[in-house]
Amino acid sequence: MTTVSDAAELRLSPLALPEIGGKGEWAEARRSAARRFAEWGLPGQRLERWKYTSLQPLTKLGFRLQGDAAVEETGLPDIPGSERVVFVNGRLDKRFGTVPTLAERSLAGPVLPEADMALEALNMALAEDGYVLDVTGRREKPLHVVHVATSGVAVNQRNIVRLAPGAEATLIETFIGEGADYWVNTVTDMALERGAKLTHFKRQGESKEAFHTALASLTLAGDAHYEGLVVMTGSRLSRQEFALSLMGKRASCRLRGVSLGGQGQHLDITVTVDHKAPNARSNQLFKSVLAKKARSVFQGLVKVGHGAIGTDADQKSENLLLDRSAEVDTKPELEIFADDVACSHGATVGELDEAKVFYLMQRGLSAQAARALLVEGFVAELFDDVADAAIASYLREDAETAARHLTGGAA
Amino acid sequence: MLEIRNLHATVQGKEILKGLTLSIGAGEVHAIMGPNGSGKSTLANVLAGRDGYEATSGEVLFKGRNLLDLDVSERAAAGLFLGFQYPVEIPGISSINFLKAAVNSVREARGEKPYDAVTFLKVVREKAAFMGMSDEMLKRPLNVGFSGGEKKRHEIVQMLTLDPSMALLDESDSGLDIDALKVVAKGINALRGPDKAILMITHYQRLLDHVVPDVVHVMKDGVILRSGGRELAEELETSGYAAYGEKERAAS
């Protein structure tokens, strides 16, 4: 099924895309996506949505499209009570369990809609594999998809999640990697039919020398609910994009996340929630904790279309700077074209309260431990209402480890 | 236990302590009283090592060590506890998790074995019950949503769990009704012992009805003006701080 040669390389400047072979609708769509990407190139900072994040560092590198990875079981995270599958450099590693995949194109259904964003088009052109999660009824066990990447590889993985009417599922994604200068560019299309409920967790714990760009594209029918929580601690440069369309009446979503960055990391979360039907609700809370020249970006756009009466939308961005070298760019935005809506947004940027540090130290905690504990306190609310205790502690521990790093402690 | 000799200290460049000398032996309970602005809280903060409270000259020996050389947590580990006048609220961190981290940090610094989860819970539950605090309150975020009285009781729970050799209690009685005052006093009395020392800082003498001090000091303008026995507090109760230059406002 592979239509891109394993030896192929990807270079962005000057652009060198591999040949995409094969016949049929799919191959044609991929060639078309490749042409679009060639025309558009990487999104530049003149684009409003890319104003704060530069992908320039990617242009200095060349990537292989397939790595020879021998991933060992030890080192792979596992969450009690969840079913785990492992993708290595974008391809399912069947030694660790299986899941339906995009490699069997018939599973993907009709050709995916044309990408309207450059990175999505590149993903479309190059994606060989990805999980296809079709859920009817209630999926008992959470699915934990572990993505592992290795040095020098560009991973373009395309995933599909479809929940039938009334279906319920929990999906956890972990992104980890070894080595340097790899680039994970992933797209996940999620469609929730009437009354479906998806709970989605993502831990982005890539190598600190890696690049991570991800798009979660969602459509929600009436009464559907999406619950998302992302914990971003890895990568040198990362961009997590959410594009949600609330298509049906009373559809709702709750998005939460935290970026914990140090050592010059750049962590971007960009969200678009499009209210297209009456009485839909959206709620966003994104936090960042930054030290040592790290930078976080939050762009949250809530669009309320004509006719989306009774919309209830809230977005909050709360940021904590651990030193003066860190930077936050936060831009919650509202575009409202309907009456009778309740929309709010807010952003805060603060530092650790020295009175609290003093209090904790007076009780015997070292300066580092006191600061780490305050960071944990700052992010704790994100994990408090995660119903599955094993998942909550998996993500919380990741955030706490990052908090210790950022405050100068050992791992 | 604690030897303060000719201590001068500044806050934001302004001298607040102006040559304070005070000696507290093991087994003793002292009280410092004084009008507002006399430097009582500054003394507590300087002794605890808070940023911005700078000792400019003089000497403080704590169990023979130069206290001013230690950072805040080292002083705590050495056995110094400060009960705050205004305990801070910390959302997201439960009292019990915080206290476990604190007590084990202090125990390790003292060369003692950290408590395991079971032992710790047993100890803290016992102290909490003694101070009339429920388990449920300990699970709540640190001091968040606690009333003034609950915060002060919680300070004493922490003190008893950490088991310091010297407690500085900054206005532990302020904002308490009489029942809460009695509970706090019971907690302070529980720490008393031959190898412990306690310094209570208070504006009013009513706490001293319940925790009877061995020595009472009157502080004003950054120095100790007078020291005496319990009767000194009673004298202040009737005459107020008028004799020390403050209008009649102190006697409660």
Other Cβ atoms closer than 10 A to B188: 22
A366 interfaces chain B, CB cutoff of 8 Å? yes
**Total tally of structural domains belonging to chain A:** 2
- What pLDDT, in 10s, does the model give residues B181-237? 999 999 999 999 999 999 999 888 889 989 999 999 999 999 998 898 888 888 877
Q: Counting every residue, how long is chain B?
A: 252
CB contact under 8 A, B81 and A362: yes
Residue A263 is given by DSSP the state T
Contact A369 B77 (CB under 8 A): no
Alpha-carbon distance A224 to A178, whole Å? Answer: 37
- DSSP reduced 3-state for B204: coil
Please check whether residues A200 and A84 belong to one and the same domain. Answer: yes
Quickly count: other Cβ atoms within 10 Å of residue B21's Cβ: 13
Beta-carbon count within 10 A of B57 CB: 11
Interface residue B96 vs chain A (CB under 8 A): no
Cβ of residue B99 closer than 8 Å to a chain A Cβ: yes
Residue B84 has pLDDT above 90, yes or no: yes
Interchain contact B82–A (C-beta under 8 A): yes
How do residues B21-78 score in pLDDT, each as one tens digit? 999 999 999 999 988 889 999 999 999 999 999 999 999 999 999 999 999 999 999 9
Confidence (pLDDT) at A112: 64
| Partner-chain contact B73 A362, CB within 8 Å | yes
Three-class SS state of B120 = helix
Cα–Cα distance, B78 to B56 (Å, whole number)? 22
Return d(Cα A241, Cα A297) in angstroms, integer.
11
* Closest in B101, B103, B106 to A373, CB measured: B101
Burial bucket for residue A323 (CB in 10 Å: 0-12, 13-18, 19+)? middle
* ipTM, interface predicted TM-score of the complex: 0.94
Q: Which of A355, A367, A381 sits opposite B73 (nearest CB)?
A: A367
Check: CB of residue A256 under 8 Å from CB of residue A286: yes
Domain end, chosen from A248, A278, A302, is at A248
Closest CA relative to residue A103, chosen from A131, A134, A132, A129: A129
- A382 occurs within a structural domain: yes
**Hey, is the C-beta of A397 within 8 angstroms of any chain B C-beta?**
no
Let me know the angle formed at the C-alpha of B41 by B38 and B46, rounded to the nearest 5 degrees.
110
Q: Is B141 on the interface with A (CB under 8 A)?
A: yes
| CB < 8 Å to B92, chain A | 376-381
* CB-CB neighbors (< 8 A) of B88 in chain A: 353, 355-356, 359
Angle in degrees, CA B216, B217, B222, rounded to 5: 160
CA of B243 vs chain A CAs: smallest distance (Å): 35
Closest by alpha carbon to B50, among B22, B9, B19? Answer: B9
pLDDT per residue as tens, chain A (411 positions): 455 665 678 999 889 998 888 888 888 888 999 999 999 999 988 888 999 999 999 999 999 987 766 788 888 999 999 999 999 999 999 999 999 998 876 666 666 666 678 999 999 999 889 999 999 999 999 999 999 999 999 999 999 999 999 999 999 999 999 889 999 999 999 999 999 999 999 999 999 999 999 999 999 999 999 999 999 999 999 999 999 999 999 999 999 999 999 999 999 999 999 999 999 999 999 999 999 999 999 999 999 999 999 999 999 999 999 999 999 999 999 999 998 999 999 999 999 999 999 999 999 999 999 999 999 999 999 999 899 999 999 999 999 999 999 998 754
Q: Which of B84, B99, B103 sits opposite A359 (nearest CB)?
A: B84
Domain end point (choices A248, A272, A299): A248
A305 found inside a domain: no
Residue B248: what pLDDT? 46
Note the pLDDT tens digit of each residue in A362-390: 999 999 999 999 999 999 999 998 999 99
Q: Which of A248, A274, A304 is the last residue of a domain?
A: A248
Confidence (pLDDT) at A100? 92
Q: What is the pLDDT of residue A1?
A: 44
Angstroms from A367 CA to nearest CA on chain B: 7
Q: What's the confidence (pLDDT) of residue B35?
A: 84
Separation of alpha carbons A358 and A258, rounded Å? 26
Q: Give B94 to chain A, closest Cα distance, Å.
A: 9
Q: CA of A382 to nearest chain B CA: how many angstroms apart?
A: 10
Cα A325 to Cα A261, A265, B7, B185: the distances in Å are: 12, 12, 37, 47
Contacts (Cβ under 8 Å, ≥6 apart) of A7: A64, A66
Give me the residues paired with residue B200 across strands. B31, B169
Strand-pair category, B90-94 with B141-142: antiparallel
Q: Give the percent of chain A with pLDDT over 90.
A: 82
User: Does residue A16 sit within a domain?
Assistant: yes
Share of chain B above pLDDT 90, in %: 75
- Among A287, A353, A356, A361, most B C-beta atoms within 10 A, so best to mutate, is A361
As beta bridge partners, residue B22 has B4
Residue A72's pLDDT is what?
A: 84
Q: What is the domain range of residue A411?
A: 353-411
Chain-chain contact of B98 with A373 (C-beta, under 8 angstroms): yes
Q: Residue B235's pLDDT is what?
A: 82
Q: Is residue A169 situated within a structural domain?
A: yes
Share of chain B above pLDDT 70, in %: 96
The contacts of residue A40 (CB under 8 Å, 6+ apart) are A118, A121
User: What Rg value do the Cα atoms of chain A yield, rounded?
Assistant: 21
Chain B CB within 8 Å of residue A379 CB: yes
Which of A354, A356, A369 faces B101 most closely, judged by CB atoms?
A: A369
Task: Confirm or reject contact between A377 and chain B (CB < 8 A).
Answer: yes
Considering only CB atoms, which chain B residues are within 8 Å of A373?
A: 90, 93, 98, 101
Whether A380 and chain B come into contact, CB under 8 Å, resolves to yes
Residue of A nearest to B99 (CA): A363
Q: What is the pTM of this model?
A: 0.91
A403, A260 contact by CB (below 8 A): yes
**Spans of all domains in chain B:** 2-244
Contact B188, B164 (CB under 8 A): no
A244/A359 same-domain check: no
Top CATH class, B2-244: alpha beta
